[in-house]
């Protein structure tokens, strides 16, 4: 049997993450780099997914704790859309992916891991990024550590702000 070593993932495995909302916790914290918070808008904010499907997998959420798309105010919906556009552009600059998956899971049965706080997923995709590992081994291979991915995204954000 071949082994894939990813020791940096041990901090997530088998931990009791409690009932607290991770979005609200990260929003209340001022440790953005530690929490992989990318950007804060007026109504929304962006964080990296700690359990990514691919490098650069981002989560965009309203600042207000609201669980369903239909509960959002018009200005929150507008900023969510604008922030999603901005993050797609930013990820193109940082990683040059071949495409993206952009979407939301409404409700636990639809796959929402955090059904109490609405969020949008932005997942960069590359040709050949989905191989036999998820099918045969029920394992995803993430080729880059979170800190390096965060640095690349923040570098692209700094470059965007200079332009």
Identify the three-state secondary structure at position 157.
Answer: helix
Top pLDDT among 152 and 59 is at: 59
Residue 135 to residues 17, 56, 85, 117, 130: CA-CA distances in angstroms? 27, 22, 31, 29, 9
Q: Which pLDDT belongs to residue 11? A: 52
Q: How confident is the model at residue 51 (pLDDT cuts 50, 70, 90)?
A: confident
Top pLDDT among 51 and 21 is at: 21
Give one DSSP letter per residue of 55-114, joined into a string.
Answer: TT-EEEEESS----GGGS-HHHHHHHHHHHHHHHHHHHHHH--SEEEEE---SGGGT-SS
* Residues 98-113 pLDDT 10s: 999 999 988 888 887 8
Half-sphere exposure of 47 (CA within 13 A, CB side): 22
Residue 30 to residues 33, 56, 104, 106, 109: CA-CA distances in angstroms? 9, 21, 26, 28, 33
Flag whether pLDDT at 145 surpasses 90. Answer: no
CA distance 23 to 64: 10
**Residues 87/154, Cβ–Cβ less than 8 Å:** no
* Residues 128-142 pLDDT 10s: 776 444 443 444 556
For the segment 42-51, the average pLDDT, to the nearest whole number, is 94
What the block records as the tokens of 74 is 């018009």
* Residues 18-39 pLDDT 10s: 678 999 999 999 999 999 999 9
How many Cβ atoms are within 10 Å of 156's Cβ, its own excluded? Answer: 19
* Residues 52-101 pLDDT 10s: 888 899 999 999 999 999 999 999 999 999 999 999 999 999 999 999 99
Q: Which pLDDT belongs to residue 142? A: 62
Q: Which pLDDT belongs to residue 131? A: 47
Q: What domains appear along the chain, each with residue ranges and CATH number?
A: 19-162 (3.30.428.10)
To the query of whether residue 57 is one of the catalytic residues in this protein, the response is no
Size (the chain), residues:
163
Which of 17, 65, 117, 119 is an active site residue? 119
């Amino acid at each position: 049997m071949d082994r894939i070593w990813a020791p940096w993932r041990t901090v997530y495995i088998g931990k009791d993450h409690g009932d607290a909302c991770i979005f609200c916790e990260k929003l209340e914290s001022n440790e953005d780099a530690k929490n992989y918070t990318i950007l804060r808008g007026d109504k929304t904010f962006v964080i990296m997914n700690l359990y990514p499907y691919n490098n650069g997998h981002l989560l965009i959420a309203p600042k207000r704790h609201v669980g369903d798309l239909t509960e959002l105010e018009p200005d929150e919906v507008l900023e969510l859309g604008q922030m999603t556009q901005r993050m797609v552009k930013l990820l193109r600059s940082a990683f040059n992916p071949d495409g993206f998956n952009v979407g939301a899971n409404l409700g636990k049965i639809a796959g929402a891991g955090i059904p109490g706080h609405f969020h949008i997923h932005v997942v960069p995709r590359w040709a050949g990024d989905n191989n036999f590992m998820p099918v045969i081994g029920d394992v995803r291979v993430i080729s880059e550590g979170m800190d390096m991915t965060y640095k690349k995204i923040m570098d692209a954000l700094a470059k965007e702000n200079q332009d």
